[in-house]
């Protein structure tokens, strides 16, 4: 049987593992902790991240990197703030010729690097030139609801190989050459979902939210171009597709946090109830990029000011 590996047994890594197992692969799934590994190995479930989902026998949990890096295709699904730490652990097992695929979304605080840049800088060679993103809730994917994904790769033939690994009757993939743009869209869409969530929490009208959604799309385009991406990516599954799902799909932590801020809840209290969302993690890095490159992105600036400069939530309505 064909073999692949995934680093990260959270909801998204587990969901992609489920797709690959369905497609006939043996999947070595690296787990951060022994409890998750034990649950998958003994009960075929991952109750913390995907409750009530049964895992295929071909998903093999492990906490040992040597089990992972024997594969030629390795997917990483680590939260961005932990990615460098985990890649440092994997470094001694990584080798040229492997294909590392980004599933993470966001920017690293301090370096403002995207996931592929973190991986390549940690390993010291170009290991990662692939990203998979798009509008896809993990829970719906494991329940085999029809889902579209964007596969970004510099090498079209290798990208087609990756598409073939993921495609089936409920996963439809589309190719893009824009690896950086896909990662930029994935990072900023969470911040923009917080912004629209704030408006929702303030009980703004549908007309108002539509107006600001168009502004959000424009800021996504600006950020993609500033990140050396292709502005056309804004109209793809990685861009508007993921932004629509995250903003209006009803299951996004980023949108929910935005709503709670719009209802005048305090950010520190929200963090007591939620692990920090990727939108909150990424906004500091995005704000630094906005300042450094003098980008015209008032919606993202307003989110930053509301979250970290204690500005009143109403300032978001003043940007248009």
Structure tokens given for 49: 């991240």
Our answer to whether residue 105 is catalytic in this structure is no
* Cβ neighbourhood burial of 296 (10 Å; 0-12, 13-18, 19+): exposed
- 278, 297, 318 from 105: Cα distances, Å: 7, 20, 29
Distance CA 272, CA 110 (A): 24
Nearest to 106 by CA among 252, 236, 247, 279: 279
* Residue found by looking up tokens 């896809």 in the block: 136
Point out the catalytic residue in the list 2, 81, 91, 189: 189
Distance CA 160, CA 153 (A): 9
Structure tokens given for 47: 């109750």
* Residue found by looking up tokens 């409890």 in the block: 35
Nearest to 107 by CA among 83, 77, 80: 80
DSSP string, 223-290: HHHHTT--GGGGGSIIIIIHHHHHHHSS--HHHHHHHHHHTT--HHHHHHHSPPPHHHHHHHHHHHHH
- 12, 42, 218, 309 from 198: Cα distances, Å: 25, 42, 18, 16
Residues marked as catalytic: 189
């Amino acid at each position: 049987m064909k073999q692949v590996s995934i680093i990260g047994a959270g909801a998204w890594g587990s969901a992609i593992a489920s797709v690959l197992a369905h497609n006939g692969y043996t999947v070595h799934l690296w787990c951060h902790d022994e409890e998750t590994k034990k649950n998958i190995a003994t009960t075929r479930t991952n109750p913390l991240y995907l409750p009530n989902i049964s895992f295929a026998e071909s998903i093999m949990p492990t906490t040992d990197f040597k089990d992972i890096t024997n594969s030629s295709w390795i997917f990483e699904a680590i939260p961005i703030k932990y990615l460098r730490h985990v890649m440092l652990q994997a470094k001694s097992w990584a080798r040229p010729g492997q294909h590392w695929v980004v599933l993470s979304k966001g920017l690293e605080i301090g370096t403002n690097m995207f996931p592929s840049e973190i991986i390549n800088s940690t390993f010291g060679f170009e290991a990662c030139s692939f990203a998979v993103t798009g509008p896809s809730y993990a829970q719906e994917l494991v329940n085999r609801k029809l889902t579209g994904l964007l596969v970004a790769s510099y090498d079209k033939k290798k990208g087609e190989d990756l598409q073939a690994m993921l495609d089936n009757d409920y996963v439809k993939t589309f190719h893009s050459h824009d690896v950086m743009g896909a990662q930029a869209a994935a990072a900023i869409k969470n911040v923009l979902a917080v912004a629209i969530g704030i408006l929702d929490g303030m009980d703004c009208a549908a007309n108002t939210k539509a107006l600001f959604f168009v502004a959000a799309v424009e800021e996504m385009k600006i950020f993609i171009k500033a990140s050396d991406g292709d502005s056309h990516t804004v109209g793809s599954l990685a861009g508007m597709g993921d932004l629509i799902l995250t903003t209006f799909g009803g299951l996004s932590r980023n949108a929910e946090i935005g709503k709670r801020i719009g209802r005048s809840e305090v950010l520190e209290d929200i963090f007591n109830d939620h692990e920090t969302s990727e939108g909150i993690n990424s906004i500091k890095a995005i704000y630094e990029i906005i300042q450094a490159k003098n980008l015209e992105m008032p919606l993202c600036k307003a989110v930053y000011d509301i979250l970290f400069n204690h500005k009143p939530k109403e300032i978001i309505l003043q940007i248009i």
